[in-house]
Structure formats: C-alpha cells, structure tokens
Amino acid sequence: MHETTSLLIEVGALLFLLGLLSRLSRRVGLSPIPLYLLAGLIFGHGGLLEFKASEEFFAIGAEIGVILLLVMLGLEYSAGELVGNLRAAAPAGLIDGVFNALPGAAFALLLGWDWVAALVLGGITWVSSSGVVAKVLADLGRLGNRETPVVLSVLVIEDLAMAFYLPLLTAVLAGATLVGGGITLVVAVVTVLVVLVVAIRYGSVISSVMSARDPEALLLGVLGLTLLVAGVAAKLQVSAAVGAFLVGIALSGPVAHHATELLTPLRDLFAAVFFLFFGLVTDPRDIPPVLLPALALAVITMGTKTLTGYLAAKRVGIAEPGRWRTGLTLVPRGEFSIVIAGLAVAAGSVEPRLAALATAYVLITVVTGPMLARVPDLAWFKAWLRRRAAAERARQSLPVTD
C-alpha cells in the first residue's frame, strides 16, 4: 500500500509539473521538450530530489510514448506515399549514413577508443530521434508542410537501417560467430519486409476491421494493434518504432482520420512522459567530465545532419526555406542513440566513458534541436533568405563576358 501511495504522489506531482511547464513553454513561444528534460534531470538519478517509486511507470510510459508518436506519423500518409517517398529519399539515406555515422566513428578513434566503440558511437551520431522530431513537427504545426514527407522518409530509412544495424551490433558486442550474427540479421530483414508488405497490400483489409463510427472500439483496436505489432517487432530484434509507423501507414480513410483525433491526447501525454523519463535516468554528475568532447561532437554532427536534410529537400525540389526546415528539424538524436549506448554498456567490453559521452551528446542535441527547428520561422532568418535570393537573381542576370 505504501509503494502504491508513493507511486501516485510522484506520478501526480510530475504530471502536474509537466502541465505547468507546457503552459510556460507556450507562453514564451518555445517547444516544451527541453523543459521536460530538465525536469527529469532535477528529479531523477543524482538530481536535487530523486523520485524512485515512479521510475518503472515512467519507463513503460516512455516506450508507449515513442510508439504513439510514430503511429501518429504513419497515419498522416498512405502506403503509396511511403513507397514513393522512400524511393525518392534513398540517395538521401545513403548521404545521411556517410555524413553522420562516419564523424562519430572517427571521433571515437581520435579519442583512442577501439573499433567496436567506433561502431557504437557511429550509430549514436547517425540516427535522428523519431520521437523528438515527431513532437517538433506537431508543436510547430508542420505536419502538412511540403517538406515533411522528406523528413519522414529520412526517419523511416534510418529506422529501417536500425533493423539491420542493431542485430549486427548486438552480435559484435556479444562476440558472436559469423553464422550466429548472420541468422539474427536475416530474421530482422524478413520481419521488416513482411510487416511492410502486409501494411501496403492489406491495409484496406485491416482498416475494414475497425469501425470509425464507434470511438471506444476504434481507440482500443488501433492502440491494441499498434502495441501488439510494435512488441512483436521488438521481440524479433526489429525496431518497435518501425512496426508502429507501419501500422499507421496500413490504416486509411475515415478510420485513419478518426484514429488521429482519438490518439492525439494520448500521444501528447505519453510523449511528455518519454522526454521526462529520458532526464530521470540521466545522472547530471556524469556529464561535466565529458561535456566538452560531447559539445564538439554535437556541433559537428548537427552541421552534418542539417546538410543532409538540406540536400534531401533540394533533391526533390523543395524551396530554400523548406530545405532549412528539413535539415534543422532532423538535428535531435534520442531514443535509438540511448538504446545503442545501453547495449554497449550492458556488454561491459566497451570504453566506460562512452555512456556518459552519449548521454551528454543526446542531451545537447535534444535540447538545442527543437530550438534550432524554429529558426527558419524567425523574421531575421526570413530576411536573410530574401537577401540571398535577391543576390542570386542579380548574379544570374549579369551579362556573360569573355
């Protein structure tokens, strides 16, 4: 009884605090994500006041938060749009891997770490946070923007790549044989392909099972199916986020429309829990010794990620403001980076400073990323873009001389 009472007090206090922080962020015109993270640091491990009874609750809530963020993104697009966007964004996915994984791997080698640590840090710097990016798009009202499908395509390619990377990394960290690692990788590939085919070919059948006229049945059905598919995907060493996203893609028509309305409050609740939990499990005392290297790595890879998004949007004909919105929106790293670092720490055979470096790095990008995403909407940035466009037009109108 005492544990239940403590749980209710802690959960209630933290959720009430999140509500106040959300209201404060709206008043000052900022995303609430950095405030949620700071609240987690204050009340988590090593914080000013450590809340222990509610940690398991928030851990589960954080998992649900990421899943809901991704299924809501999937509901915005049809299966045909997904396939078309993936084809168009395939070159951007390759650029993304080269531009963002290699700096992390090279940084690890410069610090004198071994090749396994380089493989881990390369994954940490490679993948944007689907959860943070989805929240930023929703907060800034950009879900219907022309560049948003480009952002989603890059995220989906990264998540699909993680379906192959994570089993391979797990095998390397465990010292598995080539055959054992290969089997794990094949299972992951087959699972992703099966889920993708079902989502594209049989999405209408899945939608017909749901009833858009019965809100309660629709909410329970969509939420249950999403958690089920995400859980099965995770069990098979595939990203739960990929499974949730594909469930959203599979649903269409009135079912998708009404499901979006019903799930939006749940998404907002559990997304806030996700960012709070990220701060709760981070000990602020581990950050200062690795802060400068993490800051240097963050500056480098925030630049490379912005360039990745800019080039991806340019390739499909997005205007320059949209290119900058694409690049800056992709800056935050988050859930996958923490998962990768957690696998390395659990293995116990990787550089011990890697966990603290990864935590500091993710915190820097996840706090500054939502702020940077707002820059293209600021008046001074729009004025700068207009001056650039005018200078470019003037340059093109100059006569050619011998």
**pLDDT exceeds 70 at position 373:** yes
pLDDT at 91: 81
Region of poorest pLDDT, from 50-64, 97-111, 253-267, 375-389: 50-64
End-to-end CA gap in the chain? 88
pLDDT at 17: 93
CA atoms within 13 A on the CB side of 72: 26
Whether the Cβ atoms of residue 302 and residue 372 lie closer than 8 Å to each other: yes
Q: What percent of the chain has pLDDT over 90?
A: 20
What integer is the mean pLDDT of 179-206?
A: 69
pLDDT band of residue 109 (cuts 50, 70, 90) is very high
What integer is the mean pLDDT of 178-204?
A: 68
pLDDT in tens, 120-131: 999 999 999 887
Region of poorest pLDDT, from 161-165, 244-248, 329-333: 161-165
pLDDT band of residue 45 (cuts 50, 70, 90) is confident
pLDDT at 301: 96
Whether the Cβ atoms of residue 312 and residue 95 lie closer than 8 Å to each other: yes
**pLDDT exceeds 70 at position 176:** no
Region of poorest pLDDT, from 168-182, 249-263, 285-299, 337-351: 168-182
**pLDDT exceeds 60 at position 137:** yes
pLDDT at 208: 77
**pLDDT exceeds 80 at position 173:** no
Q: Kindly list the structural domains of the chain, giving each domain's residue range(s) and its CATH number in brackets, ordered by start.
A: 2-382 (1.20.1530.20)
- DSSP codes joined into one string, 316-357: TT--HHHHHHHHHHT----HHHHHHHHHHHHH--S-TTHHHH
Give me the count of residues in the chain.
402
**C-alpha distances in Å from residue 201, one per residue of 173, 194, 211, 252:** 37, 11, 20, 12
Burial of 7 (0-12, 13-18, 19+ CB in 10 A): middle
State the chain's mean pLDDT as an integer.
82
Amino acid at 207: S
pLDDT in tens, 256-279: 888 888 998 998 898 888 878 877
Handedness of CA 84, 330, 76, 201 (dihedral sign): positive
pLDDT at 179: 62
Q: Is the pTM of this model over 0.75?
A: no
Torsion of CA 341, 343, 349, 354, to 10 degrees: 0
**pLDDT exceeds 70 at position 393:** yes
Residue 319 has φ and ψ, to the nearest 5°, of -65, 165
**pLDDT exceeds 80 at position 347:** no
Cα(126)–Cα(169) distance, integer angstroms: 14
**pLDDT exceeds 90 at position 69:** no
pLDDT in tens, 227-258: 998 888 777 766 677 778 778 878 877 888 88
